[in-house]
Amino acid sequence: MNEWVRIGLIVAMCGTQYGLSSRRNPALGIIVPIIFVSVMTWILMTGQMEMVLYSVLLVVGLLFLAEEWSRGRKEYKEKTTQELHKMKSQDF
């Protein structure tokens, strides 16, 4: 696979993770990690990757996805707080 395609897939995966995590339902943030683990396991089972590389990439990938989930949740909470402040200021 071309290096630019891999980089594009990684960026798309992180963007999708952030987008889904910044929604009201925090459980949406589990969709991308499940797909990621499934694809990585398929790559391992077809013999395209060694176990050590698989383990390292899996841990690093899940750490990146967890960070994006955390950023998305923080963004959602900040947005909700700002809306609440707007509503309270309009009540007065």
DSSP H helices, 1-92, are 3-21, 31-45, 51-91
pLDDT at 60 (0 to 100): 95
The pTM score is: 0.83
CA 86 – CA 84 distance, rounded (Å)? 5
- The tens digit of pLDDT for each residue in 41-92 reads 999 999 998 999 999 999 999 999 999 999 999 999 999 999 999 998 887 6
Say if residue 2's pLDDT is above 90: no
